[in-house]
């Protein structure tokens, strides 16, 4: 399986999550972990600006952001993945702005046309037959509560619904990396 990790750890924060993602990638690449093809995008090394909601990626340059940044690297990686991990240390109770910006910019992977599915308006995935399954991995802050994780779960569940895929998990780096690999592998 092609797995992409959006590493939303800012340059000056999240050393623990960076080491965790290295361990997780090693497990996922190993024959016992599934022998997956794993690509990690360190978002801090890319120039991704926030989405401004202009819809130019739907109307002017279909499938491409009209603004000159590196968001096409992240959106292409998502489009070519079967599983997409959103990973970030928590910053003030939520994932980093780097991760949020990359997630928002993947709107280019949706078609602008509306479909009503189960009574809600949704967009179809632009590439392949379906969007990648997603998982969220966070590094907790000292005061992170289960309520904080529930808010993150609710938001990412809505993202999964919007792109007509599944949110497989929201886990934190307190979970053993093998547990995350098992969740990815559906075990």
Task: Determine the pLDDT at residue 15.
Answer: 62
pLDDT (average), residues 9-20: 77
Q: What is the DSSP letter of 127?
A: S
Half-sphere exposure of 53 (CA within 13 A, CB side): 0
Structural domains of the chain in order of their starting residue, each with its CATH number: 2-184 (3.40.50.360)
Kindly report whether the global pTM for this prediction surpasses the value 0.85.
Answer: yes
How are strands ordered across the β-sheet holding 133-139? 37-42, 2-7, 83-89, 133-139, 167-172
pLDDT band at 140 (very low <50, low <70, confident <90, very high): confident
Residue 64 has pLDDT above 60, yes or no: yes
In order, the DSSP letters of 30-97 are SGGGT--EEEEEEGGGS--PPP----HHHHTSTTS-SSSSSHHHHHHHHHT-SEEEEEEE-BTTB--H
**Average pLDDT, integer, range 100-109:** 91
| β-pair type (2-7, 37-42) | parallel
User: What pLDDT, on the 0 to 100 scale, is given for residue 8?
Assistant: 94
Q: 26 pLDDT exceeds 70?
A: yes
Q: Is 185 strand, coil or helix?
A: coil
Find tokens 């966070």 and name the residue: 138
Question: Is residue 68 exposed (0-12), middle (13-18) or buried (19+ Cβ within 10 Å)?
Answer: exposed
Least confident segment among 69-73, 158-162, 178-182: 158-162
Q: What is the pLDDT of residue 118?
A: 79
Q: What mean pLDDT is reported for the chain? A: 90
Averaged over 43-71, what is the pLDDT?
92
Give the span between the Cα atoms of 158 and 109, in whole angstroms.
16
Radius of gyration of the chain (CA): 16
41 pLDDT band (50/70/90 cuts)? very high
**% of the chain with per-residue pLDDT over 70:** 97
């Amino acid at each position: 399986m092609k797995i992409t990790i959006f590493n939303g750890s800012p340059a000056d924060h999240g050393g623990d999550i960076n080491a965790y993602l290295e361990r997780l990638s090693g497990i996922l690449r190993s024959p016992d972990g599934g022998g997956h093809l794993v690509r990690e995008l360190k978002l801090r090394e890319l120039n991704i600006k926030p989405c401004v909601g202009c819809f130019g990626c739907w109307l002017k340059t279909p499938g491409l952001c009209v603004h000159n940044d590196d968001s096409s690297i992240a959106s292409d990686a998502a489009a070519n993945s079967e599983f997409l991990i959103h990973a970030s240390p928590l910053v003030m109770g939520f994932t980093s702005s780097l991760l949020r910006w990359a997630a928002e910019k993947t709107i280019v992977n949706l078609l602008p046309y509306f479909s009503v599915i189960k009574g809600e308006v949704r967009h179809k995935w632009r590439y392949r037959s379906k969007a990648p399954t997603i998982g969220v991995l966070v590094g907790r802050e000292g005061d992170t509560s289960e309520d904080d994780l529930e808010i993150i779960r609710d938001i990412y569940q809505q993202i999964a619904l919007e792109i007509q895929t599944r949110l497989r998990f929201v886990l934190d780096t307190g979970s053993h990396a093998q547990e995350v690999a098992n969740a990815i592998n559906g075990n």
